[in-house]
Amino acid sequence: MIKVVLIGAGNLAFHFFKKFNSSEKVILKQWYNRSLEKIHFAESVVAITNQLNRLKKADLYLICVSDDAIESISEKIQINGLVAHCAGAVPINRLSGKTRKAVFYPLQTFNREKDLSFDKLPFCIETTYPKDQTLLKDLAYCLGGVAYEFDSKKRGIIHMIAVFINNFSNHLLHLGSDLSSNYQIPFEIFQLLIIETYHKSMLIGPKNSQTGPAIRRDQKTIYNHLDLLIDDDLKKLYLILTNSIQKKHEPKKL
Amino acid sequence: MIKVVLIGAGNLAFHFFKKFNSSEKVILKQWYNRSLEKIHFAESVVAITNQLNRLKKADLYLICVSDDAIESISEKIQINGLVAHCAGAVPINRLSGKTRKAVFYPLQTFNREKDLSFDKLPFCIETTYPKDQTLLKDLAYCLGGVAYEFDSKKRGIIHMIAVFINNFSNHLLHLGSDLSSNYQIPFEIFQLLIIETYHKSMLIGPKNSQTGPAIRRDQKTIYNHLDLLIDDDLKKLYLILTNSIQKKHEPKKL
């Protein structure tokens, strides 16, 4: 059994709360948040507090706050235990205080509105003491996930790659969805294309999956598309992505 | 029963060939290609030809050639029948000759290396004569797909949106995959993130799905990522996508 104190009430904290609460191998000892209002709903199933100097004894203190708040929160945790933050972009040494330090970063995108499966979820872990790795690996395993050891530098790179893969790809879908509604085209007609995009990419690799006017050097279609895009920023984005595709691929026949 | 003559031997033609061949409601009467070599393998199941003046009688002549070749091929089809091309970006009037004209554009990305399901596949159809719509709708239905009527202008816009949704998104996965291998990070760890990206976007919409440093206005992380990107074109792409996200979203808390 792994005893955890959860610190913070952002998206990730809520997903951890639900998961810990339903896990038989994790005991959520306490939930801290600066404002009790946000976590009040959980009072019947877990001890809640807004006092960092009243944290209960636990195996792990899991800080799930915004990146900028990690340092100041960790400074105030005066406890003899293992303290981990969950941020991809924050180095382990940003944790201050005299506690044992760690990182437990789930490589995933979280929204409050959508349940998330922890099944096979990769957790990027890092610890200052090698012996603390076992606990984090166990925790990842108890949640159904998989642990990977990465130092802070590599985790920063992983986080940057995740921005391309998730944040930027999602934004392209957003642009597509807005263009559709501008032109009264039902966005649903793109659903199978969206599914096939990532299925194919995972099956035969994104390099082999590339199709379209950019890779075909189909200038006529590229110009037509640029004409259709009224917004100058979208034109610029279209061009830079088209050039980026052409830079990665030798000309290819349809 | 719908009798079809297939014209061309690109990716899409191969997928149609396989599908027509396994369909009980479509009879593939003949397969034309400029070079017989490419379609020789099919000789035992379908009549093949490299002579456009020897096309057999059929309900539909389906032109699956590169966009630039559609006009010149259609010019040479001297037959009394319905001739359709399958290109998103090509207007119906690019078909020449005196035949009845149509478009039968499957909204999907095709590679030879991967089988493709036609189940629920949207076909964007257009005809010069309203009475010809029935045949194309029937064909879409016989293949397991769904027909949508769009004129050439709207189909061009749909094709442009599909470039954002598929070509550009796939390219971001490609960039992520290349960055991973540059830094010896196993690309597999991003698999669940990729799946969740598209699932979440379809479930709660791409606007609500957006997360990450751009939408959070997390300048520190944005600068760190730009520092990590050595390639100037990637830096530029990162910045333009970050600005595009910020333009679409008011600042949002983590």
**Domain of A133: which CATH number?**
3.40.50.720
Please provide residue A146's backbone torsions phi and psi, each rounded to the nearest 5 degrees. -130, 135
Position A134 scores a pLDDT of 97
Position B251 scores a pLDDT of 72
- Whether residues B28 and B135 share a domain: the answer is yes
- Whether residues B9 and B132 share a domain: the answer is yes
**What CA–CA distance (Å, rounded) separates A57 from A49?**
14
CA distances (Å), origin B222, targets A105, A150, A171, B109, B246: 18, 21, 16, 32, 12
Stretch B45-61: mean pLDDT: 96
A110 vs B38, which has greater pLDDT? B38
Cβ neighbours of B107 in A, within 8 Å: 189-190, 192-193
Specify the CATH number for the domain of residue B173.
1.10.1040.20
Position A52 scores a pLDDT of 95
* Residues A61, A29 contacting (CB under 8 angstroms): no
pLDDT of residue A22 exceeding 80: yes
- Whether residues B27 and B125 share a domain: the answer is yes
**Residue B253, domain member (yes or no):** no
Please, what is the average pLDDT of chain B? 95
- B160 → closest Cβ in A110, A169, A228: A228
Full domain range(s) for residue A92: 2-150
**What distance in Å separates residue B64's CA from the closest CA in chain A?**
11
Single-letter code of the amino acid located at B145: G
Domain boundary among B87, B122, B150: B150
Interval B65-111: pLDDT, tens: 999 999 999 999 988 899 999 999 999 999 988 889 999 999 999 88
**Residue B47, domain member (yes or no):** yes
Q: What is the number of other CB atoms lying within 10 angstroms of the CB of residue A50?
A: 13
Position A7 scores a pLDDT of 98
**Residue A90, domain member (yes or no):** yes
Interval B7-29: pLDDT, tens: 999 989 999 999 999 999 999 99
**A115: pLDDT confidence band, cut at 50, 70 and 90?**
confident
pLDDT of residue A90 exceeding 50: yes
**What CA–CA distance (Å, rounded) separates B194 from A169?**
9
- Whether residues A118 and A201 share a domain: the answer is no
**What distance in Å separates residue B140's CA from the closest CA in chain A?**
14
- A169 → closest Cβ in B116, B173, B214: B173
Cite the DSSP H helix spans in A103-151: 133-142
- Into how many domains does chain A fold? 2
Q: What is the dihedral of CA B242, B246, B252, B254, to 10 degrees?
A: 0
Interval B215-252: pLDDT, tens: 999 999 999 999 999 999 999 999 999 999 999 998 75
Residues in Cβ contact with B85 at an 8 Å cutoff, skipping those fewer than 6 apart: B63, B64, B65, B70, B74, B92, B94, B95, B103, B104
- Whether residues A25 and A137 share a domain: the answer is yes
- Whether residues B145 and B171 share a domain: the answer is no
Domain boundary among A118, A150, A182: A150
Q: Please give, one letter per residue, the 3-state secondary structure of chain B.
A: CEEEEEECCCHHHHHHHHHHHHCCCEEEEEEECCCHHHHHHHCCCCEEECCHHHCCCCCEEEECCCHHHHHHHHHCCCCCCEEEECCCCCCHHHCCCCCEEEEEEECCCCCCCCCCCCCCCEEEEEECCHHHHHHHHHHHHHCCCEEEECCHHHHHHHHHHHHHHHHHHHHHHHHHHHHHHHCCCCHHHHHHHHHHHHHHHHHHCHHHHCCCHHHHCCHHHHHHHHHHCCCHHHHHHHHHHHHHHHHHCCCCCC
Interval A40-72: pLDDT, tens: 999 999 999 999 999 999 999 999 999 999 999
Domain boundary among B118, B150, B182: B150
The DSSP code for A55 is: P
- Whether residues B133 and B222 share a domain: the answer is no
**What distance in Å separates residue B25's CA from the closest CA in chain A?**
23
B113:A208 CB<8 A: yes
- Whether residues B137 and B167 share a domain: the answer is no
Position B254 scores a pLDDT of 47
**Residue A254, domain member (yes or no):** no
Provide the pairing of β-strand B100-106 with B122-127.
antiparallel
- Whether residues A90 and A160 share a domain: the answer is no
B177:A205 CB<8 A: yes
- Whether residues A163 and A119 share a domain: the answer is no
**What CA–CA distance (Å, rounded) separates B30 from B50?**
10
Q: Look-up: residue for tokens 């949002």?
A: B252
**Residue A253, domain member (yes or no):** no
pLDDT of residue B253 exceeding 90: no
- Whether residues A145 and A161 share a domain: the answer is no
**Residue B169, domain member (yes or no):** yes
pLDDT of residue A252 exceeding 80: no
SS3 content of chain A, % helix, strand, coil (to 5): 50, 15, 30
**What distance in Å separates residue B65's CA from the closest CA in chain A?**
8
Testing the interface with B: which of A15, A94, A184, A197 to mutate, by most B Cβ within 10 A? A197
**What CA–CA distance (Å, rounded) separates B187 from B150?**
39
Nearest to A254 by CA among A228, A225, A215: A215
Please, what is the average pLDDT of chain A? 95
A109:B170 CB<8 A: no
User: What tokens does A96 get?
Assistant: 């201050």
What share of chain A in percent tops pLDDT 70? 99
**What distance in Å separates residue B11's CA from the closest CA in chain A?**
7
**Residue B254, domain member (yes or no):** no
Cβ neighbours of B108 in A, within 8 Å: 192-193, 196
**Residue A28, domain member (yes or no):** yes
Among positive and negative, which fits the CA dihedral A135, A137, A138, A140?
positive
Burial per residue of B226-244, b for 16 or more beta-carbon CB atoms within 10 angstroms, e otherwise:
eebbeeeebebbbbbbbeb
Q: What is the number of other CB atoms lying within 10 angstroms of the CB of residue B34?
A: 16
Residues in Cβ contact with B163 at an 8 Å cutoff, skipping those fewer than 6 apart: A212, A213, A214, A225, A238
- Whether residues B109 and B166 share a domain: the answer is no
Testing the interface with B: which of A12, A166, A215, A217 to mutate, by most B Cβ within 10 A? A166
Nearest to B155 by CA among B107, B216, B200: B107
